[in-house]
Amino acid sequence: MSDDFIRSSGNLAYVNMWLKLIAFTLLVLCVVLCAALMVKIIDGRAERVIPIVINHATGDALAVDYKVIDATGEERAPVEIRKFCEDFLADAYTYNRFTVRGNLESLAQLSTPETLSQIRESLNLPRRAELVGRNAQGLIEITSFMITESQPSLKTQIYFRSKVFAASGELLEETNQLAVMTIRPIRRSARNPHGLILIEYRQSHFNNPEE
Mean pLDDT, residues 45-71 taken together: 55
**160 within some domain:** yes
Q: Distance from CA of residue 121 to its chain's centroid?
A: 27
Residues 42-70, mean pLDDT to the nearest whole number: 56
Q: Is the pLDDT confidence value at 5 over 50?
A: no
Query: Does one domain contain both 169 and 184?
Result: yes
Section 108-114 average pLDDT: 88
Give yes or no: residues 84 and 157 share one domain. yes
Helix H or strand E segment including 162: strand 154-165
> Mean per-residue pLDDT for 194-206?
87
Helix, strand, coil content of the chain in percent (nearest 5): 45, 30, 30
* Mean pLDDT of the 133-147 span: 90
Could you tell me the CA-to-CA distances from 131 to 89, 96, 117 in Å, in that order?
A: 18, 9, 21
Q: What percent of the chain has pLDDT over 70?
A: 75
Q: Work out the pLDDT band at 141, boundaries 50, 70, 90.
A: very high
State pLDDT tens for residues 164-185: 999 888 999 999 999 999 998 8
In a domain, residue 211? The reply is no
What does pLDDT average to over the chain? 79
Q: Are residues 59 and 137 in the same domain?
A: yes
Whether residue 98 sits in one domain with residue 31: no
Q: In this structure, what DSSP letter does residue 151 have?
A: S
Asked if 169 and 183 sit in the same domain, the reply is: yes
Q: How far is CA 5 from CA 1, 31, 58, 70, 159, in A?
A: 6, 39, 85, 74, 92
For residues 70 and 169, state if they share a domain.
Answer: yes
Residue-by-residue DSSP string for 37-82: HHHHHHHHHS--PPPEEE-TTT--EEE----EE-TTS-EE-HHHHH
Instruction: Tell me if 118 sits within 8 A of 202, measured CB to CB.
Output: yes
Identify whether 210 is part of a domain.
Answer: no
The total domain count for the chain is: 2
Could you give the angle at the alpha carbon of 156 between the alpha carbons of 154 and 200, nearest 5°? Answer: 70
Per-residue pLDDT at 53 exceeds 70: no
d(CA 187, CA 71) in angstroms, rounded, equals: 7
* Segments forming the whole domain that contains residue 10: 1-48
